[in-house]
Structure 1
Amino acid sequence: MAGFEVLYQAAALCLTYPDEDFRARLPLLREAAPQLREFTDHATATSDTDLQSHYVQVFDFKNRHSLYLSWWTDGDTRRRGMSLVRFKEHYRAHGLELTGEELPDFLPAVLEFASRTGDIGMLTEHRDALDQLRSRLTAAGTPYACVLDAVCATLPPAPAGART
């Protein structure tokens, strides 16, 4: 994996809802992952209310910017259930269990998993979905795009013609 564990952990934190602890973590995130400075500088200069409102606007309305990787491949179909099981089984194979209320394909959870284990298989498998999300975030003009830029820069390119 070439030492991207810190970046993945920092990106996971940047892509979660900016709660009360978020602001306190910003200086550490800024120093630990310089690739995310565009986002951390934006977050530092933005009020909590505006940051939370922007997060909800970008990620919680519709699925245009879904942080759930299997949504990109399966949409809201029955197949998605099997994809979620695969994520859980992959985590279990590495001795990890999800304890939160998030689904196992939630991008911050996948990034945290990669950070802890060094296994980027799920990120690589969903590279096309990450590229689509990155492209949509860039088109929307949101600072969250630079977080996806940094993550995607660490991964091998999606196979030619791949479309998840």
Structure 2
Amino acid sequence: MSPLLRKSDRSRHGLDATQLTVAWQSASLLLGYPDQQLIDRLDLIVRASHELPRRLGELLRATAGNLAGTPLAELEAEYVETFDSRRRHNLFLTYFAYGDTRKRGGALLRFKQTYLASGFELDETELPDHLCVVLEYAATIDRDAGRRLLLEHRAGLELLRRGLTDSGSRWAGAVEAVTATLPPLRGDEMEAVQRLIAEGPPDEEVGLTPYGAAFDTGPAQPASSSPIALPMPTFPGAR
């Protein structure tokens, strides 16, 4: 990476395009359903994290360290317990703002339309608001559009970060790393977080055709039973 970068090449947090890609790509992998392929990539993620500012790299390395050396069956069971059993640990971003209400269908459609506008088409069995999918898109397809999606659900991300941190989850560092790439919470976003803490997401039970069940009871992984496979440590450039 060249040390000489134009000011316009850097984010407001001092991260250049390559660093944002590394951070989002790594977090996407670390937050995916654990399998042997992820375990085999942990060393690559750790090496890539040294491209990042100290605190951001430390968060990703801490998460990788929390996963390394743990029996895979234990990780799988803990992942399901963490992300499929607790409302504050939901990886589907629109759930925090809309719960299982009719409005969530429109929010999911916005994600899908954003992806399609960039030529990124998901399998119909995958919900487009899963954090790993959004991070993959932001890292490898369209950095600016992906960042906008993350910012639109900043309050939900913050609630997820707090929930994982408060419970001592081994995945907390990866979500904190994502929030560290975004601007601090604004007043209205902080109010939304406090409201979510007090009231929780809306709970009107409705169907979300064509997306299926909003909060699956099984492992939060693609239908193909494989995690989002992203190349490491060579990161494709985002637009």
Give the superposition deviation at 1:154.
Answer: 0.6
TM-score by length of 2: 0.66
The corresponding residue for 2:149 is 122
Give 5+ residue unaligned stretches, structure 2: 1-10, 51-56, 194-239
C-alpha RMSD over aligned residues: 1.4
Runs of 4+ in structure 1 off by over 2 angstroms are 99-102
Residue 11 of structure 1 is matched in structure 2 by 27
Distance across 1 between alignment mates of 2:37 and 2:132:
16
Contact 1:69–1:129 (CA under 8 A) maintained in structure 2: yes
Per-residue CA deviations over 1:36-60 (Å, capped at 9, x if unaligned) read 0101011112111111111111001
Q: Is the 8 A contact 1:69 1:106 kept in 2?
A: yes
2:66, 2:185 → 1: CA distance? 29
| Cα distance change on mapping 1:45 and 1:20 into 2, 3 Å | closer
- Whether the aligned pair in 2 keeps the contact of 1:17 and 1:55 (CA below 8 Å) is yes
Of the structure 1 ranges 124-133 and 31-40, higher mean CA displacement relative to structure 2 is found in 31-40
Report Cα offsets for 1:116-145 as digits up to 9, x if no partner: 121211011111111110000001101211
Residue 20 (structure 1) aligned with residue 36 (structure 2)? yes
Q: Which residue of 2 aligns with 1:106?
A: 130
Q: Secondary structure at the match of 2:87?
A: coil
| Matched-pair identity in % | 41
Gaps of 5+ in 1: none
Is 1:65–1:133's contact at 8 Å kept on the other side of the alignment? Answer: yes
Q: Distance in 2 between matches of 1:62 and 1:131?
A: 15
- Aligned-pair CA distance for 1:67: 0.2
- 2:88 and 2:159 in contact (8 A); partners too: no
Q: Which moved more, 1:92-101 or 1:126-135?
A: 92-101
The answer as to whether partners of 1:12 and 1:107 remain within 8 angstroms in 2 is: yes
Query: Which amino acid counterpart does residue 156 of structure 2 have in structure 1?
Result: A
Aligned to 1:142: 169
Shift, 1:78, TM fit: 0.7
Structure having the larger proportion of residues in helix = 1
Matched AA of 1:52: E
Who is 1:92 aligned against? 116
Counterpart of 1:66? 90
> Deviations 1:82-122 (Å, cap 9, x if unpaired)?
00000000111112111373200000000001101212110
- Cα distance in structure 2, aligned partners of 1:102 and 1:138: 27
**TM-score of the superposed pair, with normalisation by structure 1:** 0.94
18-27 vs 64-73, which deviates more?
18-27
- 1:82 counterpart = 2:106: yes
Q: Is the Cα contact below 8 Å between 1:127 and 1:157 reproduced in 2? A: no
